[in-house]
Chains A and B, each alone.
Chain A
Amino acid sequence: MKKYIYLFIIFVSSFSAFAQTRVSGIIKTSNGKTIPGVNITLVNTYDGASTDTAGHFAFTTTEIGQHVLHYVTVGFKPDSVAVNLDGKPLNLSLTIKEAVNELNAVTITAGTIETGDAKKGAVLSSIDIATTAGAVADIVAALQTLPGTSQAFSENGLFVRGGSGAETRTYFDGMLVKSPFSSQLPDISSRSRFSPFLFKGTTFSSGGYSAQYGQALSSALILESKDLAEKTSTEFSVLTVGFGAAHTERFENSSLTVGGTYYNLHPTYSVFKQNIHWDQAPIDKTGNIQYKWKPTKSSMLKIFSQYSNNDVSLFTDNPDTAGVIHVIDHNKNTYTNITYQDNFNPDWRIQAGASYGNTHESGRLDSNNFRKNDHLLQGRFTLTRYFGQRSLLRAGAEAYQNGALEGWNYQSRSFNDNMQAAFTEGEVFLGDNVVMRLGGMAEHSSYLADWNLAPRTSLAVKTGTHSQVSMAYGIFYQNPDDTYLLQSHQLGYEKATHYLLNYQYLTSGLTFRVEAFYKQYADLTKYDYNGFPKTYAVNNYSHLYNGGDGYAKGIDVFWRDKQSIPGGDYYISYSYLDTKRDFRNYPIQATPPFAAKHTLNIVYKQYIPVIKSELSAAYAFSSGRTYYNPNNPDFLSDKTKAYNNLSMNLSYLTRLFKQFAVVYVSVNNIPGFNNIYGYNYPSNGNTREPILPAAKRNYLFGLLVTIGDNTFNH
Chain B
Amino acid sequence: MKTLKLCFALLIITFAVKAQSADKYTAAMQKGMALVDSANTPEQFTSAANFFERVAAAETKQWLPQYYAAFCNLHVAIMGKQDNDTKDALYDKAMSYAEKADAIKPANSEVLVLEGYITFMKMSVFSQQRAMSMIPKANALLDKASAIDPENPRAYLVKGQDTFYTPEAFGGGKANARGLLTTAADKYKNQKTSGFEPAWGAHRCQVLLQQCN
B-binding residues in A (CB < 8 A): 1, 4, 7-8, 12, 36-37, 39, 41, 43-50, 53, 74-75, 101, 103, 117, 120, 122, 125-128, 200, 230-231, 507-509, 562, 569, 607, 609, 612, 653-655, 660, 709-714
Contacts and interface: CB of A to CB of B under 8 A. Distances in A.
B24 A46 contact: yes
B19 interface: no
A48 B54 contact: yes
Interface stretch (B83-91, B189-197, B200-208): B83-91
A37 B81 CA distance: 14
10 contacts: A39-B50, A41-B57, A74-B86, A75-B85, A231-B136, A231-B140, A562-B128, A654-B169, A710-B139, A713-B171
B137 to A, nearest CB: 6
A75 B86 contact: yes
B159 interface: yes
B22 interface: no
B136 A711 contact: yes
B79 interface: no
B171 A655 contact: yes
Tell me the interface secondary structure of chain A in the complex: loop
A714 B165 CA distance: 13
Most buried by A among B47, B83, B88, B171: B171
Given A508-B85, A711-B136, A127 B129 contact: yes
A711 B139 contact: yes
Nearest to A652: B169
Most buried by B among A8, A37, A231: A37
Nearest 6 A/B pairs, CB to CB: A612-B169, A230-B136, A39-B50, A712-B171, A713-B171, A653-B169
Given A46-B24, A47-B54, A612 B46 contact: no
Tell me the interface secondary structure of chain B in the complex: helix
A101 B92 CA distance: 12
Most buried by A among B54, B58, B163, B166: B54
Contacts of B135: 711-712
Interface in B132-162: 132-133, 135-137, 139-140, 159, 162
Contacts of B13: 12
A46 B55 contact: yes
B107 interface: no
Contact of A48 (B50, B84, B130): B50
Interface in B77-136: 83-86, 88-90, 93, 126, 128-130, 132-133, 135-136
B172 A101 contact: no
Given A231-B136, A712-B135, A714-B171, A508 B126 contact: yes
A69 B106 CA distance: 32
A75 B85 CA distance: 9
A230 B137 contact: yes
Most buried by A among B51, B159, B176: B51
Contacts of B11: none
Contacts of B83: 508
Nearest to B176: A714
A711 B139 CA distance: 7
A4 B54 contact: no
Nearest to B136: A230
B180 interface: yes
Contacts of B171: 655, 660, 710-714
A103 B86 CA distance: 11
